[in-house]
Structure 1
Amino acid sequence: MSLPSLDAVLSSPNLPTLPAVAWRVLELTRRPDVRLSEIADVVQNDPAITARILKTVNSSFYGLPSPCPTIARAIALLGLNAVKSLVLGFSLVDSVKQVGSAQSMDLTAYWRRSIHAASAARVLAEATGGCDPEEPFTAALLANVGLVALALSCPEPAAQLQEEAGGDHLRLAAAERTRFGFDHAMLSAALADRWRLPGELVLAVKQHHDPGPVQPISRLTALAELIAETLIGVNRSEARKALHRQAGAWFRIDEALVDALLSRIVEQASQVAAMFKVDVGEPVDVRRLLEEASDQLAAHQVTVARETLALRSTNDELLRQTVTDALTRARNRRFFDEAVSDAFLAASTSGGRVAVIMCDADRFKSVNDTHGHGVGDQVLIEIASRLRSVVREGDHVCRYGGEEFAVILPGAGRREAAALSERLRHRVGASPFTVHSDDGQVLVLPVTASFGVAALDEETRGTITDVAGLTGAADRALYAAKGAGRNCTRVFLAGGANSSSRPDAKRRSDQAQRTPDHGDAHPRRWMLVVEDDPAFARIAERAFASNDHVEVRVARSGEDALMMLSGGRDGREPGPDVVVADLQLPGLSGVDLVRAMRAHDQWRAMPVIMLTGSPSDASRRECFSAGANLYVAKQSLGDNPVSRLREIIDLWRAAA
């Protein structure tokens, strides 16, 4: 079956038409010098239209203080555009009645959308100003008359498309363009142009589905269509999101005001439907609609949060694989080079400390030569495991190359690093290694290792000036340990000597034993930094991690923070001493995080410091109302955020 073109449809004798009175009113209103009495005379020539207009004007919809007896008086009271929209509205109602019992047209659905869209356009125009509300009302009322024209001129394909679209208005328009080469919006605009409506109204009708109209009337008409879809469509959730987005972008109307206008729109739609005597079905329950939208949004946020966590977990695993040694599962050389550079930069710019321990398995070549590389691999795996069992949280055990390992100790000075090195050495040699030969034999091998220690701290700051100097000093200390008989620790000293620590030395573990490990002497505290900006998270870590007694942990979202607060590393350790959170976080915001904490007995008194890059009085009040203890603008941190963050924490602790 051949399908009609737009011109062919417009040539159909079955199209909706306007009565003579409507034509004449439109013609007169295009004249800038027209007198109101001329309009009144034309309308009064049609007694039926006159009676309907006067009945409407005197209804509660307009709320006139006294009865209006004549059309001339109605025009004077309401304005020319209001009377014109009534004439066109009543004329359109009469024209649409031509559809009658056409199978391709659900008139109740048609009027339900058109009346709600027209009412929305008028309410939006009243709320935003800038144009006469009757103009977007008329444009929205006529926007879908093309559906009537299609039902009258080509009922069978129109009915088929309606059925295929399943009530999806946007899908229907796309299907029309595919089938006919034009859609009902284009046909509506063509009819409006034929009826000689003003050009801006014709354009508004044509663009009511477009994503980017420019003229105010076109934008109001497009928003009105989104409101109609939000209230009665099949894509309510997506339409509401688009409505909020476009209302804010075009007219700076916030979401709360848009939702508040919906009840007024539904109320006015009922009044307009009664005025035109058309069936629009049951009134929309706006309260229930918004509750459902809220539930859907909450469910969507949960889904997105889960998907985000799953994606982040996958990305974290991929990242972990790129920085992990495949054999020993220690961090690899790539990770070491980047991490030690970052730690050195943080320590050197903040006046903090960082240490490196180099470890080399003693006489490892003989293990490979005697028992084969398979046994040698098992020895390396066990060394890495024993090293990891001793280091502090936040330290990094890395395979440096071959049988050599390196340990990065952020925040550690020479003495603390020497003490930890001794514990590492004792752990490696504490018991023989049980391994299996290539032929299945169980071998028990004594294994020891030598250690070299170097640190950037108060004593070496003038000597060690770059990261290469730090790793080189640790490497020289390691070779000194090898030269001293192996299975001992040597520590780089700024004066050029190396302090010793070995089992058979008279001054056994001299430096290490004189400086006990702070982790043993003091209870370890920790701070939770909730920040999705990696650069600022690193600044926060640098600000607090240089304190030997404070460990810094970073959560990249509010959801991650709640998971960490719920159990720490093993589900049993106490919570942090303080939480430093960014206000703007993906998913759960900083304010939402504080509210969640204050609703939980365990976290109710936990101090929270809120940081924001967009400070305002409103957000400050919101943060303190939620339960934050301190509100800090990131801009106030100045050129030295590391030092300033430390000062803020110290001031807060002193005040507390």
Structure 2
Amino acid sequence: MPWRLSDEPVSAGDVTRLPAQRRVGGASGMETVRFQKVISCPNLPTLPGIAIQVLELTGRPDTSLRSLAHVVEQDQALAAKILKTVNSSFYGLAKPCGTVDRALNYLGLNTVKSLVLGFSLFDSTKLVGHGTGFDLQRYWRRSVCSAVAARMLSLQLRRCDPDEAFTAALFQDIGILAAVTALGEEYVNVMGEANMGDDSCCQAEQAAFEFDHTSIGAALATKWRLPESYGVVAGHHHHPRGVPTASLHLVRTAIMARYAANMLLDKEQEAQWSSRLERTTQEWFGCELAELDSALSEIASAARQIEKLFDLDAIGSTSNLMAAAEEQAIQVRLEADRASTCDPLTGLGNRRRLDERLAALFAESRASGSSLTVIMCDGDRFKSINDTLGHQAGDAVLKEIGERLATAMQERGEVFRYGGEEFVALLPGLTPADARAAGEEIRESMASIEVDISALGLSRSSVAVTISVGIAHAQGATWPEACEHLVQRADEALYEAKHKGRNRVEWWVGAHAAQPPAAARGERTRVLIVEDDPLAAAIWRTLLGKQNVEMSFEAGVPGVKRLLESGYKPDVAVVDYMLSIGTGPEAIVAIRAAVGKEVPILLVSAHLSADKRAAGERAGATACMSKIELCSSLGQIVQRLITGEVSKLWAA
């Protein structure tokens, strides 16, 4: 009997296996000899090493854009294709993009991943079916059109990621290429006149082989360790029933994209495909086909652009399939751009590259509510090395400093040569404690081991080198107006480290370098509670009493002023709006006048009106919160009080 997919719910872990387990005539498709022949065929297309590395990196939550760019740039031809594509009108960038690193920053990880996988698959299948009569160009034209349609439709419908939809649709018929490779003319003859994009091709495959290309595609996706969603689409794009909820919109988008591609490429059946597309649009997404007119009208022209970038006209030729002159020009520009942003001595990014990355990270971190740490370090008494041992030794020391800093930071951030013997590290997403630890690690990386200069044949085989370190950390209320000010803060902290004897780490706070918050110093956090309600004060004592904090309580503005005049400086303050004497905003003004704007201050009120919030913000509150909101996340707030990271939680 013909196989039918069950309507029962499917677990995510079984998704990619289901299509390969279809029962036909009582036998499992996975168990058929021909199926095993296809899956185990030694000549099957394989993903290049670069694509495999990209998949591994993008599967890790801690992968940096820099490490991904480094992998892609190892394949200059692939990097050139990606840059050519992202600079096309298909992506509509406002200004040209000259490096993979920039492409990642402009378009994001998913976009570049989709292009890497797409070009890798295309390059590995250029000669599939050669001599069998298989129309590879027709296959790829339909696949590219489906991929473009999937991206356009997902942008319009907003139900799945556009780049994931693009790649999943591009890969959905990979089982056909595998079957052609393994079975050759036998498979091509069976397909005969069957429409490659129609369900009739699956029926022909099932009749001849007891499996179809969706089974092969799903198995191949698992074998290649592609993202699970790609396997779901490959296995279900002709059989949409039983798809798990997480992938339902992606599968439906891929199917609609196939209909749209067929509508454009199969003019004789255009009305039929248009009818199918209209029906599924209404049934699956609750909208009329006319609402997708803008997306559908762009598919044909966009597909032609991508076809040119994939160079479909060159399929079947064993000559160089790239337009050599154009590709070489892109590579020359790529190398020139890299040279202009790379320090030739250390191999690190130079001042220009620092400025670019600082601006990008500053905007990104500030907008996302994260943090950004700038660490500036300078070789201590470096001039004496040049004077006594010569500039050759000085260059060796600078190279070693750069290498040790880059090693110390690894995936946490990026290191640049600022100029002379000064280096800068940019580290997004660190807590104050982590930032302090990173600074100490940088300092220790140089102080612990002398620099080996034995290869220079000088009077000394090694030289002791130390560095001074300045740290500026921006988060919540501590963001400066411009990114350049953050570097200036780190420079001021570095100057303080030099002034205090070198080979040390200093932290910028306010208008001068100082120690980091108490939690970062390993000391007790000083918490000032300004509250006139004895019950509320007792609750704070209970919550914070067993923690590593030092609490001070005041009931009114005069008491706050006396405490501050005594030299007391809190690490964080919680201020009630209504006080026994004065108001919360008045207390905040007094605190700000004494300790500056760096200390996080939370204004709380039983009934927080818009006027009260405005008054608190004018006074200098980091954030304002009703007591109901406070109670709903009290445990998290207490933890932030202890660690000194309240600005991250309460950022206005």
> What's the TM-score once normalised by structure 1's chain length?
0.41
> What's the TM-score once normalised by structure 2's chain length?
0.41
